[in-house]
C-alpha cells in the first residue's frame, strides 16, 4: 500500500512507493520517502540508515536506524540483495526503539536495500532510498 506524502503546509503532495513514484516525482519528492502525518495519529516509519551509498562488511555489526510515529509497537526488518526483488528477514518483531544492530550476514552485492515495517501491519513500511553495498573483506597473505 503506498504512503501518502503531505507537504509541511498540510497539502497533499503525492504518493510514495512503486505505485506512486511518478506522482511523487512530479511533486519533487524522492522515491520511497516516508513523511510523518502530523496530528492524525496514523502510524508511519522512515528508514534512516542504511539509506544508500553505504559499504557494509559481512560479519561486522551495523546499526539500522529509523524514525516512527503513531502506535508502531514492534517492527520487522528485512534486507534485499537484488534491489528489492526478494526480501530476507533480519529480525521479526523487535521493539520500535529506532535502532537495531544487524550482524551483517547478507550475500555480497552492490544492489542491497533494507526495509523496516510495522510487525502488525506490513503496509506501514519504508525502505532504503538507494542501494548500498555489502562486501566480503579479503585478507591478503604476503609471502
Q: What is the mean pLDDT of residues 68-84?
A: 96
Q: How far apart are CA 103 and CA 125, in angstroms?
A: 22
List the beta bridge partners of residue 92.
Answer: 76
For 89-125, what is each residue's pLDDT tens digit? 999 999 999 999 999 999 999 999 999 999 999 999 9
Strands 55-57 and 132-135: parallel
Q: What is the pTM of this model?
A: 0.71
Annotate 36-96 with three-state secondary structure.
CCCCCCCCEEEEEECCCCCEEECCCEEEEEEEEECCCCEEEEEEECCCCCCCEEEEEEEEC
Are 45 and 117 spatial neighbours (Cβ–Cβ below 8 Å)?
A: yes
Q: What is the mean pLDDT of residues 128-132?
A: 98
Nearest to 135 by CA among 106, 100, 115, 101: 106
Predicted local distance difference test score (pLDDT) of residue 26: 46
For 19-54, what is each residue's pLDDT tens digit? 334 334 444 544 444 444 445 679 999 999 999 999
Amino acid at each position: 500500500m503506498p504512503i501518502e506524502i503531505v507537504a509541511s503546509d498540510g497539502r497533499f503532495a503525492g504518493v510514495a512507493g512503486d505505485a506512486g513514484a511518478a506522482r511523487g516525482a512530479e511533486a519533487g519528492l524522492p522515491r520511497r520517502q516516508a513523511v510523518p502525518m502530523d496530528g492524525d495519529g496514523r502510524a508511519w516509519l522512515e528508514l534512516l540508515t542504511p539509506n544508500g551509498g553505504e559499504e557494509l562488511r559481512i560479519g561486522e555489526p551495523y546499526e539500522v536506524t529509523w524514525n516512527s510515529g503513531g502506535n508502531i509497537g514492534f517492527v520487522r526488518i528485512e534486507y534485499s540483495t537484488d534491489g528489492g526483488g526478494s526480501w530476507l528477514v533480519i529480525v521479526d518483531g523487535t521493539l520500535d526503539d529506532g535502532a537495531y544492530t544487524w550482524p551483517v550476514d547478507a550475500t555480497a552485492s552492490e544492489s542491497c536495500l533494507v526495509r523496516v515495517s510495522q510487525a502488525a501491519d506490513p503496509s506501514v513500511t519504508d525502505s532504503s532510498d538507494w542501494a548500498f553495498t555489502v562486501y566480503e573483506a579479503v585478507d591478503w597473505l604476503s609471502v
